[in-house]
Chains A and B, each alone.
Chain A
Amino acid sequence: DQQVKQNSPSLSVQEGRISILNCDYTNSMFDYFLWYKKYPAEGPTFLISISSIKDKNEDGRFTVFLNKSAKHLSLHIVPSQPGDSAVYFCAASAEYGNKLVFGAGTILRVKS
């Protein structure tokens, strides 16, 4: 039973344009959401997070939007750079707890 879904296995974007990665969740108890970035042969690296009391969080080129009523979040990267090419995982937890539930990931390719 997938509680966190990333329905796009891959995304290809031109350098300088916006990348939008999407994530849906089913568990209404989730209150903390994170995005991780992963390069091959490395562990996931934390990118940005958002708590359920917010609907937007920004950090440089990265912005996460949360729509609680739709149980949907998205990660916007603008402008996209070739170094952003990686697998992006969406994750969620309940009660700010430590048990993270991950999506399957989306492979982002930024073409120069």
Chain B
Amino acid sequence: DTAVSQTPKYLVTQMGNDKSIKCEQNLGHDTMYWYKQDSKKFLKIMFSYNNKELIINETVPNRFSPKSPDKAHLNLHINSLELGDSAVYFCASSHSRGVVDQPQHFGDGTRLSIL
């Protein structure tokens, strides 16, 4: 019974294409996130939504646009893909800010490869 699920698991595409990654959580959390794990293995936050409202927006190219239709879903759309976008993208969810001992739960990642 998957708690945070993201699709697809693998995505191979050409430079310049537009692609989307979907994320859904069934934990009843109200906050969701996107992280990027680059080639150096660092996990870096990109975006966070709380109850469909954007609350964290790190320095990310505006080719990346998150969309949250409801608090259980946070999708990531990427326009005009570039070679440097190749990475593993992780979705996560948690209860609201300020709640101690409510850690973020992660999906299994989407490995994006740009040819």
Contact = CB atoms under 8 A, between A and B. Distances in A.
B43 A44 contact: yes
Interface in B32-74: 33, 40-45, 48, 50, 55-56
Contact of B97 (A45, A46, A96, A102): A96
Contacts of B94: 98
Nearest to A57: B101
Interface in A18-72: 32, 34, 36, 41-46, 49, 51
A78 to B, nearest CB: 22
Contacts of B109: 41-43
A96 B101 CA distance: 9
Interface of B: 4, 31, 33, 40-45, 48, 50, 55-56, 90, 92, 94, 96-101, 103-109
Contact of B43 (A32, A97, A98, A102): A102
A96 B98 contact: yes
Contacts of B106: 36, 43-45
Given A49-B101, A51-B100, A102 B44 contact: yes
A46 B107 CA distance: 12
Contacts, number: 60
25 contacts: A43-B4, A43-B90, A43-B109, A44-B43, A44-B106, A45-B106, A46-B105, A49-B101, A49-B103, A51-B100, A91-B43, A95-B97, A96-B98, A96-B99, A97-B97, A97-B98, A98-B31, A98-B48, A99-B48, A100-B43, A100-B45, A102-B42, A104-B40, A104-B42, A105-B41
Given A96-B99, A98-B55, 10 more contacts: A36-B106, A43-B106, A45-B106, A95-B98, A97-B97, A97-B98, A98-B97, A99-B48, A101-B45, A102-B43
A44 B94 CA distance: 14
Nearest to B109: A43
